Amino acid sequence: MEERTIKATATSDLRPTPVPPILLNAFDRVLLRLLLRFCNSRSRKTETEIDAERPVAEVDSRNLNKLMARFGDGLNIEGLRVLDAGCGAGDLAISMALAGAEVVGVDIDGKRITRAREKAQQAGAADRATFVHKSLLDYEPDRLFDRIVSVEAFEHIPEPERFLPKMRDLLAPGGEILSVFGPLWLSPYGPHQYGFTRFPWVHLVFPERVVLAARRMTFRPTDAATRYEDIRGGLNRMTVERFKRAVHAAGLRFERLAYNPQLSNAPAKLASGALTALPGAQPGIRRNARPPCANG
């Protein structure tokens, strides 16, 4: 079959490193042309440009607010020792420190850890929020934690089945893990590609190589990823059932498990209810698109 090389043209003057081509056959090219009709280039930037446009800024408290909305009194962290697993640029960790917790943030991305430390210093929280550039699997603290939080991280962690036992081992007796994350793999935007397309279930409708070719053309021209696992931040194709299995295998138990709280308004409930009622809907799609529920 005929093959075609899709090459990226960088938008930066900084001479980005060339990336390997994505090879598409003739049928892939037809699919690519179709998908491009549903794509936009509004956020097209090189990796160098993305890093350069992230100066130290005010602390974003939205993730703390999200945890408070989901867990209420369960997020009472004042005076507690808290681990932020997958802390990113530190906004949540710093917000919790400002709320009275002693916080350690751990992340494998060194650039984000550097930004987190700068933000903590700027916010006057460097004495209560410390940051460690390391995989959580390799982290050995001198003391255990009363709470471990993880926000928007579990769908990105390369080895979640190893990650959860490690979290268990870092908990003090009576400690708790609080986590919010998504969208999950079988949900409409499971591949997290909404930066350039809002096509629902694009990863189930189009082959991976076609989606990533469109991504390179319209969104991230210098990202060399050829699998969803390899895009910046990574995706582990996490599903509800996989997460539940991993939790139970780690010797942990759910006190509260809620799905799809974002589908709480009436139109969303109606749409998701209709979708999951379709006779041919896959069980995974039924679970990942169903209206909100708790302890399911």
SS (H, E, C) the chain: CCEEEECCCCCCCCCCCCCCCEEEEHHHHHHHHHHHCCECCCCCCCHHHHHHCCCCCCCCCHHHHHHHHHHHHHHCCCCCEEEEECCCCCHHHHHHHHCCCEEEEEECCHHHHHHHHHHHHHHCCCCCEEEEECCHHHCCCCCCEEEEEEECCCCCCCCHHHHHHHHHHHEEEEEEEEEECCCCCCCCCCCCCCCCECCCCHHHHCCHHHHHHHHHHHCCCCCCCCCHHHCCCCCCCCCHHHHHHHHHHCCCCCCCCEECHHHCCHHHHHHHHHHHCCCCCCHHHHHHHCCCEECC
Q: What is the predicted pLDDT for the residue at 29? A: 95
The verdict on residue 3 lying in a domain is no
Q: What is the predicted pLDDT for the residue at 125? A: 95
Residue 285: pLDDT above 50?
Answer: no
CATH number at residue 188: 3.40.50.150
Q: What is the predicted pLDDT for the residue at 268? A: 45
Q: What is the predicted pLDDT for the residue at 270? A: 54
Mean pLDDT across 79-95 = 95
Greater model confidence, 4 or 211: 211
Residue 70: pLDDT above 50?
Answer: yes
Q: Are residues 190 and 66 in the same domain?
A: yes
Q: Are residues 47 and 132 in the same domain?
A: yes
Mean pLDDT across 103-111 = 94
Q: What is the predicted pLDDT for the residue at 42? A: 86
Q: Could you tell me the pLDDT band of residue 150, with boundaries at 50, 70 and 90?
A: very high
Mean pLDDT across 182-197 = 91
Q: Are residues 18 and 69 in the same domain?
A: yes
Q: What is the predicted pLDDT for the residue at 10? A: 37
Q: Return d(Cα 150, Cα 170) in angstroms, integer.
A: 13
Q: What is the predicted pLDDT for the residue at 43? A: 87
The verdict on residue 115 lying in a domain is yes
Q: Are residues 269 and 248 in the same domain?
A: no
Choose one of 241, 256, 271: the last residue of a domain: 256
How many domains is the chain built from?
Answer: 2
Q: Are residues 92 and 129 in the same domain?
A: yes
Q: What is the predicted pLDDT for the residue at 58? A: 78
Q: What is the predicted pLDDT for the residue at 182? A: 87
Tokens coding 156 = 């990105």
Q: What is the predicted pLDDT for the residue at 57? A: 65
Q: What is the predicted pLDDT for the residue at 261? A: 59
Q: Could you tell me the pLDDT band of residue 18, with boundaries at 50, 70 and 90?
A: low
Residue 105: pLDDT above 70?
Answer: yes
Q: Are residues 86 and 201 in the same domain?
A: yes
The verdict on residue 232 lying in a domain is yes
Q: What is the predicted pLDDT for the residue at 11? A: 42
Q: What is the predicted pLDDT for the residue at 256? A: 85
Mean pLDDT across 1-27 = 57
Q: Are residues 154 and 17 in the same domain?
A: yes
Q: Are residues 164 and 118 in the same domain?
A: yes
Q: Are residues 64 and 126 in the same domain?
A: yes
Q: What is the predicted pLDDT for the residue at 80? A: 96
Mean pLDDT across 124-130 = 96
The verdict on residue 38 lying in a domain is yes
Q: Could you tell me the pLDDT band of residue 275, with boundaries at 50, 70 and 90?
A: low
Q: What is the mean pLDDT of the chain?
A: 83
The verdict on residue 287 lying in a domain is yes
The verdict on residue 162 lying in a domain is yes
The verdict on residue 2 lying in a domain is no
Q: Please give the residue range of the domain that contains residue 280.
A: 262-296
Residue with tokens 């709470």: 147
Of 206-210, 238-242, 281-285, the range with the lowest mean pLDDT is 281-285
Q: What is the predicted pLDDT for the residue at 6? A: 37
The verdict on residue 1 lying in a domain is no
Q: Are residues 292 and 148 in the same domain?
A: no
Q: Are residues 224 and 286 in the same domain?
A: no
Greater model confidence, 58 or 262: 58
Task: List, in order, residues 6 or more apart from 62 with CB less than 8 Å away.
Answer: 91
Q: Are residues 239 and 295 in the same domain?
A: no
